Amino acid sequence: MPLQRRLPKRGFTNIFKIVYQVVNINDLNTFAPHSVITRDMLHQAGKLRSLKKPVKILGGGELTFPLTVQADKFSEAARQKILAVGGTPEELSA
């Protein structure tokens, strides 16, 4: 039996990987216009499971009114959609 077949194939787990909680733009339409959306507000609305993990806003769906969104990271599509309706994406630094 060759050595490469005898050794276990376990792969690799990156211990430094950052796992984001994702929220789509469409989920932000439930909030009031011109409000500031924080991580706590998203958690209270049931959009997030944990307050400990970082949040990333993705560009799925459409936003119909301006909002100020505070998150750890934004996709480029989400940033463009927020800016297109007159809102502001605020990236939080850790």
Residue 26 within a domain: yes
Does the pTM exceed 0.75?
yes
Residue 32 within a domain: yes
Tell me the CATH number at 42. Answer: 3.100.10.10
Residue 3 within a domain: no
**DSSP character string of the chain:** --HHHHS-------TT---PEEEEGGGGGGSPTTPEE-HHHHHHTTS-S-SSS-EEEE--S---S--EEEESEE-HHHHHHHHHTT-EEEEPP-
The pLDDT tens digits along the chain (94 residues) read 999 999 888 888 899 999 999 999 999 999 999 999 999 999 999 999 999 999 999 999 999 999 999 999 999 999 999 999 999 999 997 5
In the chain, the number of structural domains is: 1
